[in-house]
A and B are shown apart, each in its own frame.
Chain A
Amino acid sequence: MTAVGAPNAAPLVRIDHVWKQFRKDAGGPVLHDVSLTVGRGEFVAIIGPSGCGKSTLLNILARLTDATRGEVTLASTQIRVAYVFQGPRLLPWRTVRRNVEFGLEQTGAARREVRDRAATALRLVHLEEHVAKYPHQLSGGMQQRVALARGLALEPDLLLMDEPFGSLDALTRGYLQEELLSLVRRTDSTTMLVTHDIDEALLLADRVVVMSNRPARVKEIVDVPFGGDRSLDRLISDPRYPQLRTRLRELLRPEVSDAPPDGGGGSELDRQRVAAGEP
């Protein structure tokens, strides 16, 4: 078992010079030579302008689509992957409980275990009173919490999340972010979170991967120095927090020139981690 949050732990995910070009898409490649390694137990946030291919990267990791060039390797074939999508993507004909059980059912776990773990996950997202309802009877935010529970119930080795809190109200979002934080710190889960939200990235992640505008390259990787034990309150009182925030804001500012930075390739950029707080 590796130390939680240690960025140099044995890599669980290795993304190696990945390009993605959709057929019939004249707009050029979506992903442009993206390289990234994610250690076991690490929490990586991927942040970038909309439509820059962040979701495509997760889809490649979930094997929903193939990379045009380059390779994505997971540490073993036994790795249990959960994917929380931008929309809830619930099965309308299944109750809340049965939706949460869906991922677990695919693991071949015993019926009883499937039930128990689904119930635990539903308590975590505070939906234990709605287990017998169908998705259309819930609000959009509740549906997204069901989707979150479906992913968490799996206790995945790799948790992929594509703006999972985007549709939630601020209170629920804050609560679930902290729940997620304590959950992934408690377990050995490796998490890759795509987000638009700088504060969310800083609250949750060990590293923030900043992507450039399309074609998406890894523009910069920013280490987040707040350690394992954090909360929104503690972050706000930390002097490094506003600095990091400003830094990320600047990185995300729309680019005037589209020329790649000196030294070119994303593979180089991968190693150019910028220590937190540096100017």
Chain B
Amino acid sequence: MTAAPTQGLAAGAAGAMAGPTPPSPRSDRYRPRRRAWRGARIALSALLLIGLWWLGSRVYANYILPGPPTVWHSFTDAVSRGAWTANIGATLLHMFAAVAIILLVGLPVGIVIGRSVIAEDLTRVWLVFLQTVPTVVLIAIALIFIGANTRSVVAVTVASGLAYFLLNVIQGTRAIDRDLVDMAKAYGAKERVVMRSVLLPSVVPYFLAGSRITLGVAWQVTLFAEYLMGSNGVGFQVSTAIKLLDTASVFMWGLSIVVLTLLFEYGAFRPVEAYLTRHTRRG
């Protein structure tokens, strides 16, 4: 058992949003001037991607590789019809309902499992099952038990993400510094105070790592589940569009999700993370 937060099998999904890496020994090579060059290189690679896309779209037919103007048109069209807001809203609702359930259930359950060997033994097989069962199988099971609807989408997302979050919270609970608990008890802290002032704050880094993985999994699985059994949401729109060979819409929904993910990452997750780990900053 390592002390580092679990990355789990979802590391790939979450890796794209991984937080700032600790400065490497070589990082002091990058003086401000070099940093400007790095920015320029990144911008260049973005321009190259868009350029290649543009060029490709002139070679291939519109239904295979639509160009940027076509995709933009698809976007403005969806917005004016109200479809963009409605479906993005539905997907966000599915996703955040699932994430909220995972966090609210996972935090207390993870702490209990982390503190009790009995609870650990009793849940072990369940966790291994949740972690290893393929999402497609979960979707198939949900189709049989719940049917093709929103509840199924949320249920499959919860089932896919819960194990990763739990494993992080369990590990955080185990990594707690016994010396701090003893200190609190020596000063007469009640169990409730130990929980609030020692245990919960020390789980925070693991909670954040788990949340990040959960969000990565949830973005992927929600869309996948909508695609296969939804009646609304971005995933459902993609499945409809591809059946009509409306490739421009597929690109448009894909790019919309990319932008939203980045907005959420930098606009919400990182500020919350910075606030919760403010005591680790030097200054």
Contacts and interface: CB of A to CB of B under 8 A. Distances in A.
Interface of A: 59, 62-64, 81-83, 85, 87, 89, 91-95, 102-103, 105-107, 134, 136-137, 150, 154, 160
A112 B279 CA distance: 24
B283 A83 contact: no
30 contacts: A59-B182, A62-B186, A63-B186, A64-B182, A64-B185, A64-B186, A83-B187, A85-B183, A89-B180, A89-B182, A89-B183, A91-B201, A92-B279, A93-B201, A93-B204, A94-B279, A102-B184, A102-B189, A103-B187, A103-B188, A106-B187, A106-B188, A106-B189, A106-B193, A107-B188, A134-B279, A134-B280, A136-B279, A150-B187, A160-B186
A91 B177 CA distance: 10
A83 B184 CA distance: 10
Contacts of A94: 197, 279
Given A64-B186, A81-B188, A103-B187, A91 B197 contact: yes
Q: Is the interface of B mostly helix, strand, loop or mixed?
A: helix
A63 B185 CA distance: 8
A-B pairs, top 3 by smallest CB distance, nearest first, are: A83-B186, A89-B183, A103-B187
Nearest to A106: B188
A137 B186 contact: no
A89 B279 contact: no
Nearest to A156: B187
B179 interface: yes
Contacts of A59: 182
B198 interface: yes
Contacts of B179: 85, 87, 89
A106 B185 CA distance: 10
Contacts of A93: 201, 204, 279
